[in-house]
Copies of this chain bind each other. A is one copy, B any other.
Amino acid sequence: MQIRWDQQYAQRTSRMSSSAIRELLKLTELPDVISFAGGLPAPEVFPVEKISAISQRLLQEAGPQALQYSATEGYRPLRELLAQAASQDGAPVTVDNVLITSGSQQGLDLLGKVLVDEGDTLLAESPTYMGALQAWAPYGASYVTLPSDDDGLVLDDLEAVLQKRPKFIYILPNFQNPSGRTLSLARRQYLIEATTRYGIPIVEDDAYARLRFEGDQLPSLISLVVQQSSDDTGYTGHVIHLGTFSKILSPGIRLGWIIAPAQLISKLVQAKQGTDLHTPTLTQMLAYEMVRAGHVEEHIPLIRNVYRTRRDAMLAALSEHFPADVTWTHPQGGMFLWATLPEEMDSSKILEEAVQEKVAFVPGVAFHPCGGGENTMRLNFSNASPEKIHEGITRLGQVLSRQKSAAR
């Protein structure tokens, strides 16, 4: 009897869609396409030589340990180091507050597994990170959203939403993916004050914090929490903080972390044990040795310089080649900017034509959990060279101009 697999799938899989956009984006991986669609770091700035030297020494000195099973919680020296770094940034945490994850994406999945029941409502920015929507879809999350402007999430309606008690708030405070926007200090303070009052947790996804090109660094949300009590296991606040090595070292090693109250960490550890036992020992020890040797800190200014140059190249090309009624954000860091077309334009249709011209981006609809954003697009500036950025934006500007005159 032949098995019809689609009749075997669990109900939750009906919420895991293979979007038309994802199919279209496969075309953008062809080698001659200039793609602003991905979220790839510039591979030419990976510290390959240093990673090679460190991994060589690591395998010589501790090979058997690096290749053996290890604790679900993560490599303890790395957890200690991350706890120290968070404490120096103003969030007094201990090793018991830190769980190493297989990339920040796994942090999102584990939070969904442990916190999200079918029908739970989450409060998100609109637009927000598509990967979080994918992580939480199988667990049955639904969304209420607030819009954002140049100061990040707009909080005018926050209290009204908090009164409906969403399970948690999901926010990317720095150089947000996809918009490139940063939450202002005043809004951070108000957000913490109001959520403390209502007892609503915040998931702070802070992948891009270290990629600031200009302006002052703002305190993380977790550092603004005033702890009402504390114990031997450190932090007891309501902000869950997600960090990652993807943007400051390498995304291909898939290494992130969660900082949260120890009680929640214990439950996340149980969930992780059933999910993948532990994150690779080798990559954890490698990241630890890279940080300890100072190689990560000395590497960050290089990344910032390269990305600043590319952002500037994209901003200049946009001014030169995009129609006058298109607007875009001016991110002070990160990897993305966000363009808004005239209301009547549909960026998904533009992508179809853009791919013919061998240039790509992600249509904004993909980042809107409750719909909308048909006239928006995410543009990545970290991966292509300034020359390619100029060429790609030129092509894209031509497509936009053509579609505008066709619509007239």
Contact = CB atoms under 8 A, between A and B. Distances in A.
Interface of A: 1-3, 5-6, 8-13, 16-18, 38-41, 43-44, 46, 48, 51-52, 55-56, 59-60, 63-70, 102-103, 105-106, 108-109, 113-117, 120, 131, 134-139, 167, 196-199, 201, 228-229, 236, 238, 246, 250-254, 261, 263-264, 266-267, 270-271, 273-283
A201 B263 CA distance: 38
Contacts of A114: 9-10, 13
A133 B250 CA distance: 34
A290 B39 CA distance: 30
A63 B40 contact: no
A134 B275 CA distance: 8
Given A254-B280, A277-B105, A263 B6 contact: yes
**6 A-B pairs with least C-beta separation:** A1-B199, A48-B63, A43-B64, A252-B281, A67-B250, A134-B274
How many identical chains are in the complex?
A: 2
Majority-rule SS of A interface residues: helix
A274 B16 contact: yes
Contacts of A253: 67, 280-282
Nearest to A284: B252
9 contacts: A3-B201, A5-B264, A9-B114, A9-B267, A18-B270, A67-B250, A106-B275, A253-B280, A253-B281
A77 B105 CA distance: 25
Given A63-B46, A103-B277, A3 B115 contact: no
Nearest to A252: B281
A196 to B, nearest CB: 7
A252 B66 contact: yes
A52 to B, nearest CB: 4
A282 B6 CA distance: 33
Nearest to A273: B134
Given A2-B229, A3-B238, A8-B167, A67 B135 contact: no
A328 to B, nearest CB: 25
A239 B52 CA distance: 40
Contact of A64 (B11, B44, B66, B116): B44
Given A5-B267, A52-B59, A274-B134, A11 B280 contact: no
B69 A2 contact: no
A131 B5 contact: no
A10 B139 contact: yes
Given A48-B63, A59-B48, A113 B138 contact: yes
A141 to B, nearest CB: 10
B66 A106 contact: no
Nearest to A44: B64
A138 B274 contact: yes
A281 B6 CA distance: 30
B277 A280 contact: no
A52 B48 contact: no
A276 B134 CA distance: 11
Contacts of A199: 1-3
A109 B275 contact: yes
A39 B115 CA distance: 31
A131 B63 CA distance: 26
